[in-house]
Structure 1
Amino acid sequence: MTRRRQFNPDSYYHVIMRGNNRQPIFGTPEDMNELKRAFFYTYKRYPFTILAWCFMTNHYHILIKPKEDSLSKIMAMINRRYSHSYSKRYNHVGRIYQKRYFAKEIASAYGLLVVSSYIHRNPIQTSTPLVKRLAQYPYSSFPYYWDEHVPAPPYLDRHFLSSIMPYPHDKTNAAYCQYCLKYKQEVEEDNDVSLCTTQFHNPHS
């Protein structure tokens, strides 16, 4: 019998979802946009807050806190919505995800800074960086921190991380972005860690 996960409703969680057999199930701009739509669709039904996300071609990371409904319910709807779209668009039969999502509670301010930075740095931590500058990566929340004039999705809270920046850093998004750019982070992941190096079309390159 599968053991039910215990979640703290007041905490943020680092969530990772991977493609089956390391396949690039988010390998095109159309795939990425469909994944974004899955998040919007789910948010309207089961509200949540995200501090950071990064969609790579064979996995994605989010730093998320549910507002009312369980994390399991939120993740089930996101992944089911995307899986249905993927199967329809590619005439695919069978599962597309490697296994159930990985989730780890992040219980401290320092942990939130480290994990969010780790998530944002994914595009430049691959063996071949996907972009030269993090602000150029279009499938991450980092550009919304970099340019506060860009309208953000309703579920992104881009004020909280800057508010917990430690001294001597300024409590601004500019300071947070510099923190991300300066420090390479290491965090706990699931047991099958594989950084994706598949290239995609970057409209900002």
Structure 2
Amino acid sequence: MPRKKKIWYPGAMYHIMCRGNHRQNIFWDDADRQFYLMTLLQVKQLYPFFLYSYCLMDNHVHLQVETTDFEISKIMQRINKAYAVYFNEKYNFVGHLFQGRFQWELIDKDSYNLELSRYIHLNPVRAEIIKDPLDYHWSSYSAYILGTQENLVDTTKILEYFSEPKREKYKRFVEGNEVPGTDKLLLSP
């Protein structure tokens, strides 16, 4: 079966998911997760893109990405290859680390963009790893709530959907299932 042709144009936004081959873990310890985040930052500097949210689970990764001048395939190939080389050398692993290439969905609506951010940040809660998404150290949720990771995660686009106080309203949206208003996707005060 032929691969689905990736749609790309400058400014294209994607939900990217990379899963371990046979659903095996791709992160075995915190150093692995740190290396993956460092790889994201290095590739972001080499092939500029916006990273709006991420979550590193044991056997898969979710990324919410907007491209600028480079195709998503080039960006993801660089990220996955660098991480696979690191992993294979560290654990003397042979074979494919990732299940195929990466899965992707084009984000073509503001409502999907916003809902995806919530979905990614609640992934460890739904997996029953933690109860409060802020307690999960391997997602971008703290960038939204506490203003951390500014060099890696760009929170501006997602927070623009909310009126002031933006961070508090985003937190209520993610954790409390509040639905943004229909006019400009702004939460009512």
Shared fold, TM over 0.5: yes
Note the aligned Cα RMSD (angstroms).
1.9
CA contact (8 A) 1:11 1:65 kept: yes
Per the TM alignment, residue 109 of structure 1 is displaced from its structure 2 partner at its CA by 1.3
Matches of 1:122 and 1:3, distance apart in 2: 26
SS at match of 2:101: coil
Provide runs of 4+ in structure 1 moved above 6 Å. Answer: none
Report Cα offsets for 1:112-147 as digits up to 9, x if no partner. 110110000001001xx2123111111100011111
Q: Which residue of 2 aligns with 1:136?
A: 135
CA distance 1:171–1:106, change in 2 (3 Å)? farther
Q: Which residue of 1 aligns with 2:45?
A: 44
Q: Which residue of 2 aligns with 1:180?
A: 174
CA distance 1:171–1:72, change in 2 (3 Å)? farther
Matches of 2:24 and 2:83, distance apart in 1: 15
Moved more, 153-162 or 90-99: 153-162
Per the TM alignment, residue 159 of structure 1 is displaced from its structure 2 partner at its CA by 1.7
Name the structure with the higher helix share: 2
Matches of 1:138 and 1:103, distance apart in 2: 24
Unaligned runs of 5+ in 2: 180-189
Matches of 2:38 and 2:146, distance apart in 1: 22
Per the TM alignment, residue 48 of structure 1 is displaced from its structure 2 partner at its CA by 0.7
Per the TM alignment, residue 176 of structure 1 is displaced from its structure 2 partner at its CA by 0.8
**Structure 2 length normalisation: TM-score?**
0.87
Give identity over the alignment, percent.
26
Q: What code does the residue aligned with 2:113 have?
A: L
Q: What code does the residue aligned with 2:153 have?
A: L
Whether 1:53 aligns to 2:54 is yes
CA contact (8 A) 1:162 1:171 kept: no
Q: Which residue of 2 aligns with 1:193?
A: none
CA contact (8 A) 1:14 1:104 kept: yes
CA contact (8 A) 1:15 1:62 kept: yes
**Number of residue pairs the alignment of both structures matches:** 178
Alignment of 1:1-205 (within 5 A): 4-126=5-127, 129-148=128-147, 150=148, 152-165=149-162, 170=164, 172-183=166-177
Per the TM alignment, residue 3 of structure 1 is displaced from its structure 2 partner at its CA by 5.8
Matches of 2:47 and 2:81, distance apart in 1: 14
Matches of 1:26 and 1:76, distance apart in 2: 18
Unaligned runs of 5+ in 1: 186-205
Per the TM alignment, residue 8 of structure 1 is displaced from its structure 2 partner at its CA by 3.2
Q: What code does the residue aligned with 2:40 have?
A: F
